Every structure is written in structure tokens, then in C-alpha cells.
A = this chain, B = another copy of it.
Amino acid sequence: MRIGELAKLSNCDVETVRFYEREGLLDRPAREANGYRQYSDEHLTQLNFIRHCRSLGIGLTEVRILRRFQSTPDLACDEINQLIDKQIARIHEQTESLRQLERQLHALRDTCHANQKTGECGIMRTLEQAAEGEGCACHPEEKTR
């Protein structure tokens, strides 16, 4: 199949497929006489593998590592487990810091509900006070430090 079909089947962009090839994640396909890329089912499987990993937030570097493991099925899978564990830890950290962000933004939002002039807007004032080092609603824990 050609690149357009492959891309559609694995639900990604044509440019992305070429990008993965350039990055050495996807095997180079054969070429037709006119230079068009000619893909096999094996390529489709590879691409699906990459996209699936990506959908799990696994970075291209890690995907490259996993692809290398695929070709050596006799190695211990210890490293794979570690890789996934690291990924879980990373995502967990991100979730936590986003949760905190959400709380902070809500606190900031609560300082202004009425439609006022910018000069009296609670949000704007809070942000400006914070800039002056006076402490703010959104980062309350820093007050007590």
C-alpha cells in the first residue's frame, strides 16, 4: 500500500509517517518505479505499535528502545517494566502538578466574579499584588513560609 492508505489505516498524518521514517522508528519501505513508498502489513503493525505507545504518552526515545527489544525476544524484560514504571511515575507527577494548578486557578478566579473595570478586577489585582510580592490567593502556602 502507499503512504496515504497506511496513514489512514493507522489514523495518523502522512507527514507523521515520513517523520517516523526519518527518525528511524519505522523501517524504510521499498519504492515503486516512480519513487513512491510501498508499504507492507508489517509496516502497518510497526506504525500501530508506535502510535499505540504514543497514545500512552511514551516518548519517541522510549519507543525506539521498545522497538529494539522487539528484535531480541530472549533478553530479560526487566528493563521494559522499568521503562513503563518510569513512565507511570512521570505521568503521576504531571497529574499532581496540574491538579495543583487547577486549584490555584480556581482560587484566582474566585477573586472576581462581577463584571468590573479592569482596574478593579479581583483577578488582575491579585496578579499584580503577587508581582509586588504581597502574597496571593492562588499561592496561599507561600504566605506562611
The answer to whether the Cβ of A124 comes within 8 Å of any Cβ in the partner chain is: yes
Which of A16-24, A30-38, A42-50 is found at the contact surface with chain B? A42-50
User: How many Å from the CB of A56 to the closest CB on chain B?
Assistant: 6
Among B91, B105, B127, B139, the residue within 8 A (CB) of A88 is B105
In this complex, how many residues of chain A approach chain B with their Cβ under 8 Å: the count is 58
A117 / chain B contacts, CB cutoff of 8 Å: 73-77
- In the bound complex, what is the Cα–Cα distance between A95 and B131 (angstroms)? 27
If A102-B91, A102-B95, A116-B76 touch, whether A130 touches B52 (CB-CB below 8 Å) is yes
Interfacial chain B residues near A127, Cβ < 8 Å: 49, 52-53, 66
